[in-house]
Amino acid sequence: MIVKSEHDLTGIVNASKVAKHILNVLAENSLEGVTTEFLDELCKKEMDAIGAKSAPKMFYDTPCYSFYSVNNCIVHGVPNRKELVKGDILKIDVTPFYEGFVSDTACSVIIGGEELNAAAALMINNVKTSFQKAVKLCIPNQNLNEIGRAIENNTKSGGYFVIKELSGHGVGQAVHEDPSVLNYYEFRDKTKLKNGEVIAIEPMISNRKSKLVTKRDGWSLATRMGSLTAHYEHTVLISDKTPIVLTE
C-alpha cells in the first residue's frame, strides 16, 4: 500500500492501533495454564468489541482469528487446548482488518517470564534488535534488500539462523502485498522503498539451521529439527522524514 491521502493515513494508523491493542491484550493473558484456544476466543471478543475483523479469516479462511506458535513452531500456529507451561516461547501474530485497512504485528513471549528460559530470552532480544537495525533503513529510495542485509547480519552475529522460506511483505489493504521483504540479503533485488509505502518487517529466526515443515493441521509452520524459534513484527510507514513504526 502507498499512502496517498489523509484518508489512507488515518485508516492505516487506526488499524495499527487496533493491532497493537489486541497484541498487548493477548500477550498479557499468555500465562501458565492458559490455552491458545482461550487466547483466540479472547482475540475474537476484542475484535468484536472494537468492530474489527480477522484479516487472515477474511482473505485466507483461516481456522482462527490470530496465530499462536509455540516453541519450534514459528508462524501460523493454529489454536488448541494444550495448556501453556512455564518456559514455553509463544509467538503471537495479529492481523486485524479495521475500517478498510489491514495492519500486522507479532511478538514472542516467554510463559512465566524471561528468567525461566534464558536461551529463548537471548533469541527474542536478537530478533528485536534485528528489527530495530532494519527499520532505521526505511527511507525513500533505499534499496529494499538492505533491510534483509541488516536482519541477516544481526541474526548471524548472535549465532542464530534466518528462516529464509518466510519473509515480511507489503500491507495495508490486504494481508500480503508487494513487495516481499526478505530477511536476508538478495543482491539481485533492485527494488527501492517508496515514500508513503507501508510494509511489515518481521524477522523470524531459529537457534538451529533447519527448513520448515507444515504440521498436520495444514497451517502451522515449524522447524523440522525441533529447534527454538522467535518472531517479531511491526507495520512500518516509509516517510521522507523518519520511518514511522505504526504498531509500536
pLDDT digits (tens, 9 = 90+) for 206-238: 999 988 999 999 999 999 877 899 999 999 999
Q: CA of 105: how far to CAs of 19, 121, 133, 215, in Å?
A: 7, 19, 17, 23
Hey, what's the cell of 79? 489454536
Hey, what's the cell of 178? 508487494
Cβ(92)–Cβ(39) below 8 Å: yes
Q: What is the average pLDDT across 98-114?
A: 97
| Beta-bridge mates of residue 162 | 205
Q: Locate the domains of the chain by residue range.
A: 6-245
Hey, what's the cell of 20? 497493537
Per CATH, which fold does 6-245 belong to?
Creatine Amidinohydrolase (3.90.230)
**118: Cβ–Cβ under 8 A, 6 or more apart, which residues?**
none
pLDDT digits (tens, 9 = 90+) for 45-99: 999 999 999 999 999 999 999 999 999 999 999 999 999 999 999 999 999 999 9
Closest-CA residue to 248 (of 96, 114, 135):
135
Q: What is the average pLDDT across 145-158?
A: 98
The Cα–Cα gap between 168 and 181 comes to: 4
The Cα–Cα gap between 206 and 240 comes to: 34
Structure confidence at residue 241 (pLDDT)? 83
Hey, what's the cell of 199? 510494509
